[in-house]
């Protein structure tokens, strides 16, 4: 989770151009200069898309956070963390991923973009049958698979149930649970050949076999509907554990019903989500979830969410495969106009070779033109003839004759020979594959050179690499200096707790027994036992009852805050009567206890978080003493606030 938070620093955004002073020095750490452009980029990134607008900072307010960030990175570099193999490999892997879109040539048309936009306005519901086939399968294997799936299509046309066939024959593992039904989807949510076929097939019909990188599909289009736009909601959730009994699910439903009543009485939804929701990620944000479309969410959740007509409306308690939910609508936005998302569509098409009909040959041609590629055709012809006539198993590795040149770089036969030695195993038959190897060598050489120029040609690429470089270092040194230290420093954490004891308190609680008896006889027997020994354990109590009667009781013992248990809420705090309540047979034994400090174990996560913040403050003070920091505040004042 920490790494995800830190690496948000490398998310690409649109930046204002500070052409006049972007190369001026805005600050320095021990003489290492930090340019205005880097500061502006990070300032703008970290002040956009904040959940709370009050968290936005002016450039002068942000500079302290920025310097703290750069101090940590500088310290990591001084400690040599940027030379550790794991760091070098991670950065290399990221660069390869980031470079990939720059090292292809995606061809697309205006018509393709407009067609993609029209598809974003329609959601398709489909089921499919998949027979897997390797992308490099032989013609014979391909034909055999095609005939197999064609026979399944014939069965459907003759009246067989599509979903039953999917359950029986589909090689998509999910078909055993969903019978091939994929639900609703829209543009860019399926591999392109599948999407393309699904949008073209009329509702109710079954496609001819459709080939994707996974194999052959039969697609049954079940429905098409207008897309609903996107919605932002908050929710409160009680998770139903896997294999939970009906009784457990019912108890959780009762808890949700109680929360729903509190909301009806004016309870603060965000506060209730923070206190009671089992979805801890959204609970921390008052239950707020990211924007989603009806095709991008479980239908059991999406439908009730989109049924809410006004911002502020909330649903009844609803059930999904994950648990019970109450949903509150926060905001809604319709399908954007073409102009609003045209660039997004273009970017998605560029990154998807299946959509764009990517052509490597065209990319290589573009590089050849850009870098003035020139081939020594006469020398190459002589070399090919020599290999073919002599069927050599020894390749001359010393020839410095120029084979081709590009961008003022010269490539010799020696370079090509070294490449051949790496990629060929059967040198006796080299003549049969020599031309293919040469073409691959030319392409690899040009692509590698283009890769080496990305930082110079593309400023955004350079800055993303810089930010990811710093982000990894920040994570690694923070993990060592703060997070792991706070978790492992048992004595330090205990001392911190004693100094800050009482920061986190329990609310008013009821401490004692919560008991549900099936009849008066058992109730009287329980009263007798508890009167004799109120400190008896649950195990001892239930053991005595089992010896007395075959009837069973439901019993809990502990300290309960309001909202923890519906029966306690009703009998102690005069809340709503819980479902299935039996007067006299369902009761509590114990007392209210006043607010008291949580122990370190009870609030361990909170105190560790506070201790981490404390250690970070001390660390920052040490770094500011250790390294000399200079800041050009006049230059910072010239930056427009976000």
Q: Check which CATH number belongs to the domain holding 156 and give it.
A: 3.10.50.40
In a domain, 480, yes or no: no
- Chosen domain end from 226, 250, 271: 226
What is the distance between the alpha carbons of residues 220 and 129, in angstroms, rounded to a whole number?
Answer: 9
Is 528 contained in some domain?
A: yes
| The predicted structure's pLDDT at residue 13 | 33
CA of residue 364 relative to chain centroid, distance: 34
| Together in a domain, 311 and 235 | yes
pLDDT of 49: 67
431-462 pLDDT tens trace: 656 777 888 899 999 999 999 999 999 988 99
pLDDT digits (tens, 9 = 90+) for 147-196: 999 999 999 999 999 999 999 999 999 898 889 999 899 998 898 889 99
Residues 222 and 234 in one domain: no
Do 270 and 315 reside in the same domain of the chain?
A: yes
Q: What is the pLDDT of residues 498-525, one digit of tens each?
A: 999 989 999 899 999 999 999 999 999 9
Q: Tens of pLDDT along 102-123?
A: 887 655 567 788 889 999 999 9
Helix, strand, coil distribution of the chain in percent, nearest 5: 55, 15, 30
% of the chain at pLDDT higher than 70: 90
Residue 433 in any domain: the answer is no
Write down the pLDDT at residue 439.
87
Report the Cα 580 to chain-centroid distance in Å.
Answer: 42
pLDDT of residue 388: 56
Average pLDDT over residues 197-220: 94
Question: What is the C-alpha separation between 164 and 161, in angstroms, rounded?
Answer: 5
> How many CB atoms are located within 10 Å of the residue 506 CB?
16
Q: Is 466 left (phi over 0), alpha (psi -120 to 50) or beta?
A: alpha
Q: Is residue 359 part of a domain?
A: no
Tally Cβ neighbours within 10 Å of residue 312. Answer: 9
**256 — pLDDT class (breaks 50, 70, 90):** very high
The answer to whether the Cα torsion of 430, 431, 433, 439 is positive or negative is positive
Q: Name the least confident of 111-115, 221-225, 265-269.
A: 111-115
Domain boundary among 333, 359, 394: 333
Model confidence at 5, pLDDT cuts 50, 70, 90, reads very low
Cα-flanking dihedrals φ and ψ of residue 442, to 5°? -60, -45
- What kind and span of H or E run contains 628? none
Tell me: do 220 and 235 sit in the same domain: no
What is the pLDDT, as a whole number, of residue 624?
95
Measured between alpha carbons, how far is 176 from 344 in angstroms, rounded to an integer?
36
Residues ≥6 apart with Cβ < 8 Å to 498: none
With a cut of 80, say whether residue 38 has pLDDT above it. yes
Beta strand extents in 30-90 (DSSP E only): 32-35
pLDDT tens digits for range 52-98: 777 888 999 999 999 999 999 999 999 999 999 999 999 999 999 88
Do residues 131 and 206 both lie within one domain?
A: yes
Both 185 and 274 in a single domain? no
What does the alpha-carbon distance between residue 17 and residue 36 come to, in Å, rounded to a whole number?
11
pLDDT tier at 17, thresholds 50, 70, 90: very low
Q: What angle do CA 182, 188, 190 make, to 5 degrees?
A: 35
Helices 139-157 and 162-169 pack at an angle, to 10 degrees, of 150
Longest CA–CA span in the chain (Å) reads: 108
Task: Grade residue 430 by pLDDT with cuts at 50, 70 and 90.
Answer: low
Q: Is residue 134 part of a domain?
A: yes
In a shared domain, residues 557 and 514? yes
Domains in the chain, number: 3
- Structural domain including 544 reads 509-593
Of 333, 365, 391, at which residue does a domain stop? 333
Please state, for a pLDDT cut of 90, what percent of the chain lies above it: 62
Is residue 265 exposed (0-12), middle (13-18) or buried (19+ Cβ within 10 Å)? exposed
Query: Quick one: pLDDT at residue 610?
Result: 93
d(CA 447, CA 449): 5
Among 252-256, 289-293, 419-423, whose mean pLDDT is lowest? 419-423
23, 36 contact by CB (below 8 A): yes
The pLDDT tens digits for 355-411 are 655 456 668 888 999 999 999 988 888 777 766 555 444 445 447 888 999 999 999
Residue 547 lies in a domain: yes
In this predicted structure, what is the pLDDT of residue 119? 94
User: Are residues 202 and 240 both part of a single domain?
Assistant: no
Average pLDDT, the chain: 87
352 assigned to some structural domain:
no
> Is residue 628 in a domain?
no
The answer for residues whose C-beta is within 8 angstroms of residue 561's C-beta and 6 or more apart is 506, 507, 508, 509
pLDDT at 21 > cutoff 80: no
Is the same domain home to 156 and 204?
Answer: yes
Q: Are 213 and 281 part of one and the same domain?
A: no
Shared domain for 264 and 311, answered yes or no, is yes
Whether pTM exceeds 0.95: no
**Per mean pLDDT, which of 11-20, 71-80, 336-345, 424-433 is the most reliable?**
71-80
Higher pLDDT, 100 or 407: 407
- Identify whether residues 326 and 234 lie together within a single domain: yes
Burial class (CB in 10 A: 0-12, 13-18, 19+), 3: middle
């Amino acid at each position: 989770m920490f790494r995800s938070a830190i690496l948000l620093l490398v998310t690409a955004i649109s930046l204002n151009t500070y052409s006049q002073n972007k190369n001026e020095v805005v600050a320095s750490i021990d003489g290492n200069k930090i340019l205005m452009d880097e500061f502006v980029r990070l300032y703008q990134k970290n002040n956009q898309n904040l959940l709370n607008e009050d968290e936005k900072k002016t450039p002068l307010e942000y500079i302290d956070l920025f310097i703290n960030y750069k101090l940590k990175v500088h310290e990591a570099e001084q400690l040599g963390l940027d030379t550790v193999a794991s760091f070098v490999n991670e950065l290399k892997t990221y660069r390869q991923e980031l470079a990939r879109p720059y090292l292809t040539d995606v061809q697309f048309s205006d018509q393709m973009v407009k067609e993609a936009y029209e598809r974003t306005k329609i959601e398709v519901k489909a089921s499919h049958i998949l027979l897997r086939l390797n992308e490099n399968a032989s013609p014979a294997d391909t034909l055999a698979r095609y005939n197999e799936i064609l026979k399944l299509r014939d069965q459907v046309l003759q009246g067989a149930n599509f979903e039953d066939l999917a359950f029986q024959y589909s090689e998509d593992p999910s078909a055993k649970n969903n019978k091939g039904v994929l639900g609703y989807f829209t543009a860019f949510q399926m591999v392109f050949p599948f999407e393309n076929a699904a949008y073209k097939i009329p509702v109710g019909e079954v496609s001819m076999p459709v080939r994707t990188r996974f194999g052959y599909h039969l697609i049954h289009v079940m429905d098409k509907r207008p897309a609903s736009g996107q919605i932002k909601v908050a929710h409160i959730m009680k998770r139903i554990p896997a294999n939970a009994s009906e009784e457990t699910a019912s108890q959780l439903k009762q808890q949700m019903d109680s929360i729903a009543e509190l909301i009806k009485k004016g309870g603060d939804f965000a506060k209730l989500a923070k206190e009671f929701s089992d979805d801890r990620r959204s609970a921390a944000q008052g239950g707020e979830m990211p924007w989603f479309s009806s095709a991008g969410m479980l239908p059991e959740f999406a439908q009730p969410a989109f049924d809410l007509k006004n911002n502020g409306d909330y649903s009844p308690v609803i059930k999904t495969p994950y648990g019970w939910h109450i949903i509150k609508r926060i905001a809604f936005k319709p399908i954007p106009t073409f102009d609003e998302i045209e660039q997004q569509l273009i970017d998605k098409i560029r990154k998807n070779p299946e959509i764009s009909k990517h052509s490597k040959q065209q990319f290589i041609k573009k590089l050849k033109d850009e870098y003035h590629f020139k081939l020594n055709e006469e020398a190459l012809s002589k070399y090919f003839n020599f290999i073919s006539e002599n069927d050599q198993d020894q390749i001359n590795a010393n020839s410095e004759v120029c084979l081709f040149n590009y961008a003022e770089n010269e490539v010799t036969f020696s370079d090509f020979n070294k490449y051949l030695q790496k990629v060929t195993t059967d040198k006796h038959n080299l003549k049969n594959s020599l031309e293919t190897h040469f073409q691959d060598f030319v392409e690899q050489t040009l692509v590698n050179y283009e890769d080496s120029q990305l930082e110079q040609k593309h400023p955004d690429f350079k800055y993303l690499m810089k930010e990811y470089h710093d982000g990894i270092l920040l994570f690694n040194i923070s993990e060592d200096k703060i997070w792991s230290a706070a978790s492992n420093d048992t004595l330090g954490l205990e001392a911190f707790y004693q100094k800050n004891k009482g920061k986190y308190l329990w609310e008013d609680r009821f401490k004692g027994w919560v008991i549900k008896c099936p009849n008066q006889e058992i109730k009287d027997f329980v009263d007798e036992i508890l009167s004799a020994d109120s400190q008896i354990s649950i195990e001892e109590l239930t053991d005595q009852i089992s010896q007395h009667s075959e009837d069973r009781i439901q019993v809990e013992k502990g300290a309960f805050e309001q909202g923890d248990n519906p029966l306690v809420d009703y009998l102690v705090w005069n809340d709503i009567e819980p479902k299935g309540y039996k007067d006299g047979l369902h009761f509590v034994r114990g007392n209210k206890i006043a607010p008291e400090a949580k122990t370190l174990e009870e609030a361990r996560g909170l105190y560790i978080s506070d201790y981490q913040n404390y250690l970070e403050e001390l660390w920052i003070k040490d770094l500011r003493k250790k390294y000399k920091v200079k800041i050009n505040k006049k230059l910072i004042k010239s930056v427009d606030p976000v």
